[in-house]
C-alpha cells in the first residue's frame, strides 16, 4: 500500500524569503546562520539525503550523489507561524493574516475574558514564555490570577501554576477563551501554559495544550479521510488542525518521543498519511536564541534519521521539511522568522538526486501527496511528483 510520511522539523528554515523585510526578518537564515555560529556543525545523515545541495551550509557540503530528492519551498500564506505553515503544507493557503497584538489585547477584550472566567488577569502584553513567569509568577501565586500574554504570532496564551489553577481548570479557561475569540479577534491558537516550581525556579510543565481554529477549507487530510484513507498525527498535529482530517493522534512530549512514535507507526502500518511535528528545535532552542542547543537537537535527530529510513516500506514516500524559520542567531526579536523551508523526499519510489528547485508554495507538498496517493488535488499547489519519481514518463 502506498503511504506518505511528512516529518516537520519545526522552525528549521533555510534562508529569508523575498518579503522577509516586511516581517522584520531581513537576514534570517536558521540553518545557514546556525552553521556559521556553531563550531563543528555537521549533519551527515541529512547531508547524504541532499540537504547541502539545497543551499550553502558550512559543515554540510553538497552530496555528489544525494540519496533523496531536494529543494526549497516559499510560503504564500500571509504569516510565519506554526498554524499557517502546517495548513499550507497540507494544501490550504491563508491569504488574510491572523490578528496579532504587538501592544497586547484590547482592554475591552480582556475585561470580557475576565468576566467570562470570573477572575482578574495579569500581564496582557507580548512576552517570552520564560520571562513572563519570572516577572509575574510570584504575583500569580499570591493572587490566583492567570497570566495572559501573546507574542509576534497570533496567539492568546494563558499561564497558570499547576498548584494554583489545576491544569484541567486551565484547559477550561482556555476553552472559554477559544469560544470568545471570534471575528476580528479570531487568533490562530489559544495556548494553555501550565507551569511548576517556586520563585526563581519556575519552569513550564509538560501539559501544554493548543486550542486551534480548524482550517476553514479542506486540506489533504480531509481529502484522504473522505476517500476512505486513514491519517495519523504525531506531536501537536492534532492541535494545529483542531482534529480536522485526523483519524488518530499520538501526542508527544519532545523530539525523541516523537521519533520513537514515528518509527513505531511506520512499522505498524495502517495509515495512508503519517504527519509528524518535532517541536523542540523551535520551542526549546529557537525562541530562546540558543544556537548550541538548536545544533545539538539537529545532531540528535540526524543520528536517529537512519532508524526512520530503515523502517520505510517499499511504497513509502518520506518528506522531511519545516513550517517556518526560528533563527536562533537572530537578535531583532525572539519569534519566528519568515524563511524558505527545506524539502527532502526519500523512499524507494524516489529518484536519488532529483532536484525540485525553488518552489513558491509549501502546498506543493500536498499536491504531490495527492498525486502519489491517487486522490483529488486541492486548488493550491503544483505537484512535483513527476520530477522525483523513478518511473518518469
Specify if 98 maps to a domain.
no
CA atoms within 13 A on the CB side of 304: 15
Specify if 20 maps to a domain.
yes
How confident is the model over 202-221, as pLDDT tens digits?
999 988 899 999 999 999 99
CATH number at residue 152: 3.30.70.1250
Domain that holds residue 181: 107-212
Same domain, residue pair 197 and 324: no
Final residue belonging to a domain, choices 212, 247, 262:
212
Query: Between these two residues, 58 and 333, which has the higher pLDDT value?
Result: 58
Q: What is the mean pLDDT of residues 62-74?
A: 98
CATH number at residue 285: 3.40.720.10
Same domain, residue pair 274 and 292: yes
Provide the mean pLDDT of the chain. 96
Specify if 75 maps to a domain.
yes
Same domain, residue pair 375 and 247: yes
Same domain, residue pair 35 and 112: no
Specify if 101 maps to a domain.
no
Task: Give the pTM.
Answer: 0.92
Specify if 102 maps to a domain.
no
Same domain, residue pair 233 and 354: yes
Which grid cell sits at 3?
Answer: 503511504
Same domain, residue pair 126 and 244: no
Q: How many domains does the chain have?
A: 2
Same domain, residue pair 208 and 239: no
CB contact burial 352-389 (16+ within 10 A = b; e otherwise): bbbbbeebebbbbbbbbbbbbbebebbebbebbbebbb
Specify if 191 maps to a domain.
yes
Same domain, residue pair 20 and 140: no
Distance of CA 217 to the CA centre of its chain: 19
Specify if 282 maps to a domain.
yes
Residue 311 has pLDDT above 70, yes or no: yes
Same domain, residue pair 125 and 236: no
Residue 393 has pLDDT above 70, yes or no: no
How confident is the model over 70-107, as pLDDT tens digits?
999 999 999 999 999 999 999 999 999 999 999 999 99
**pLDDT category, 392, cuts 50, 70, 90?**
low
Specify if 349 maps to a domain.
yes
What residues have CB less than 8 Å from 277, skipping those under 6 apart?
Answer: 8, 10, 82, 86, 234, 235, 236, 237, 240, 258, 323
**C-alpha dihedral (79, 85, 90, 95), degrees to nearest 10:** 0
How confident is the model over 281-299, as pLDDT tens digits?
999 999 999 999 999 999 9
How confident is the model over 341-357, as pLDDT tens digits?
999 999 999 999 999 99
Same domain, residue pair 136 and 268: no
Same domain, residue pair 225 and 166: no
Same domain, residue pair 82 and 229: yes
User: What is the full DSSP assignment across 243-282?
Assistant: TTT-SEEE--SSHHHHHHHHHHHHHH---SEEEEEE-HII
Amino acid at each position: 500500500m502506498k503511504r506518505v510520511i511528512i516529518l516537520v522539523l519545526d522552525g528549521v528554515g533555510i534562508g529569508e524569503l523575498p518579503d522577509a523585510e516586511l516581517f522584520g526578518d531581513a537576514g534570517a537564515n536558521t540553518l545557514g546562520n546556525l552553521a556559521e555560529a556553531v563550531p563543528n556543525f555537521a549533519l551527515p545523515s541529512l547531508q547524504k539525503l541532499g540537504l547541502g545541495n539545497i543551499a550553502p551550509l558550512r559543515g554540510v557540503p553538497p552530496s555528489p550523489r544525494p540519496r533523496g530528492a531536494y529543494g526549497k519551498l516559499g510560503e504564500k500564506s500571509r504569516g510565519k507561524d506554526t498554524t499557517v505553515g502546517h495548513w499550507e503544507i497540507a494544501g490550504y493557503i491563508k491569504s488574510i493574516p491572523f490578528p496579532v497584538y504587538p501592544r497586547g489585547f484590547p482592554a475591552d477584550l480582556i475585561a470580557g475574558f475576565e468576566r467570562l472566567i470570573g477572575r482578574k488577569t495579569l500581564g496582557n502584553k507580548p512576552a517570552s514564555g520564560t520571562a513572563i513567569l519570572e516577572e509575574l509568577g510570584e504575583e500569580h501565586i499570591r493572587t490566583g490570577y492567570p497570566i495572559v500574554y501573546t507574542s509576534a504570532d497570533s496567539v492568546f496564551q494563558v499561564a497558570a501554576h499547576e498548584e494554583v489553577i489545576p491544569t484541567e481548570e486551565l484547559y477550561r479557561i482556555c476553552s472559554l477563551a477559544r469560544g470568545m475569540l471570534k471575528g476580528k479577534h479570531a487568533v490562530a491558537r489559544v495556548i494553555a501554559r501550565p507551569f511548576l516550581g517556586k520563585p526563581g525556579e519556575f519552569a513550564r510543565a509538560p501539559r501544554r495544550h493548543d486550542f486551534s481554529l480548524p482550517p476553514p477549507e479542506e486540506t489533504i487530510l480531509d481529502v484522504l479521510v473522505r476517500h476512505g484513507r486513514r491519517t495519523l498525527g504525531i506531536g501537536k498535529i492534532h492541535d494545529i488542525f483542531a482534529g480536522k482530517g485526523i483519524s488518530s493522534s499520538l501526542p508527544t512530549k519532545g523530539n525523541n518521543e516523537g521519533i520513537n512514535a514515528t518509527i513505531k507507526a511506520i512499522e505498524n502500518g495502517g495509515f495512508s498519511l503519517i504527519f509528524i511535528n518535532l517541536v523542540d528545535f523551535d520551542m526549546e532552542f529557537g525562541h530562546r536564541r540558543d544556537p548550541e542547543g538548536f545544533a545539538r537537537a539537529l545532531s540528535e535527530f540526524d543520528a536517529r534519521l537512519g532508524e526512520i529510513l530503515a523502517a520505510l516500506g517499499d511504497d513509502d514516500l518520506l518528506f522531511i521539511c519545516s513550517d517556518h524559520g526560528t533563527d536562533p542567531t537572530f537578535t531583532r526579536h525572539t519569534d519566528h522568522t519568515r524563511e524558505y523551508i527545506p524539502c527532502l523526499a526519500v523512499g524507494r519510489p524516489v529518484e536519488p538526486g532529483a532536484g525540485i528547485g525553488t518552489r513558491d508554495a509549501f502546498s506543493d507538498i500536498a499536491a504531490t501527496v495527492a498525486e502519489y496517493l491517487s486522490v483529488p488535488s486541492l486548488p493550491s499547489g503544483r505537484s512535483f511528483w513527476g520530477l522525483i519519481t523513478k518511473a518518469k514518463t
